[in-house]
Amino acid sequence: MMPIGLLMIEHRLIEKMIKHLEERSQIFRKENEADIFFIDKAVDFIKIYADRCHHGKEEDILFRDLAKKELQREHKNIMDELVQEHSWARNATKSLVSVKEKYGLGDKTALSDIVKLMIELAEFYPKHIEKEDKHFFIPCMNYFSKQEQEGMLNEFWEFDRRLVHEKYKEIVKEIEKAM
């Protein structure tokens, strides 16, 4: 498997979650009520899987290695756009957490912001994924030898292995802090 194969597999799971986000935003709007449990699960997925795991591999490994190469202007520009888009998604997710907390404290006016942010995320991810899949990942693999690609794939697997421990160490720290 090439490194982009793993990233594209991750895209398929992200697309499934984003579809649920879109569907739920419509239900929230129709029923004039948000499901806090769903939002918490969706935010966890976006923060941990889509951002920390998936975007983490892109930024910490793929983009790092591409930065050492002499990229065509088009690929350099796309990589810069992708970093900006990752930042936008992080900020939108933080905003969703913030308005969800307001809603959970009884501010029912926060529902419209919840729906708006969920729709924005649902509209963002398909375009972002298409840019990566069709215009960036495949041509960028040409900058790497087979050996470099294999090394990158091994680094991706190691990244995933560490991430599990990172997540659950953080959960224990949060519990300890609350006590």
As a whole number of angstroms, the distance between CA 35 and CA 105 comes to 13
Q: What's at 170, amino acid-wise?
A: E
> What pLDDT does residue 18 have?
97
Tell me whether residue 135 is in a domain.
Answer: yes
Tell me whether residue 179 is in a domain.
Answer: no
Work out the burial of residue 95: count CB atoms within 10 Å of its CB; fewer than 13 is exposed, 13-18 middle, 19 or more buried: middle
pLDDT tens digits, one per residue of 70-90: 999 999 999 999 999 999 999
pLDDT tens digits, one per residue of 143-174: 999 999 999 999 999 999 998 888 888 889 98
Tell me whether residue 12 is in a domain.
Answer: yes
Q: How many domains does the chain have?
A: 1
Tell me whether residue 37 is in a domain.
Answer: yes
Tell me whether residue 160 is in a domain.
Answer: yes
The answer, yes or no, to whether residue 1 has pLDDT greater than 80, is no
Which residues make Cβ contacts (< 8 Å) with residue 27, sequence separation at least 6? 35
Tell me whether residue 121 is in a domain.
Answer: yes
**Domain, as residue range, for 83:** 3-174
The residue among 127, 121, 126 whose CA lies nearest residue 99 is 121
Q: In degrees, to the nearest 5, what angle opens at C-alpha 9 toward C-alphas 15 and 58? A: 90
pTM to 2 decimal places: 0.91
Tell me whether residue 33 is in a domain.
Answer: yes
Tell me whether residue 67 is in a domain.
Answer: yes
Cβ contact 124:89 at 8 Å: yes
CATH number, domain containing residue 20: 1.20.120.520
For the chain, the C-alpha Rg in angstroms (whole number) is: 18
The residue among 152, 169, 24, 35 whose CA lies nearest residue 103 is 35
As a whole number of angstroms, the distance between CA 22 and CA 24 comes to 6
Backbone angle region of 32, left / alpha / beta, with phi > 0 → left and psi within -120 to 50 → alpha: left
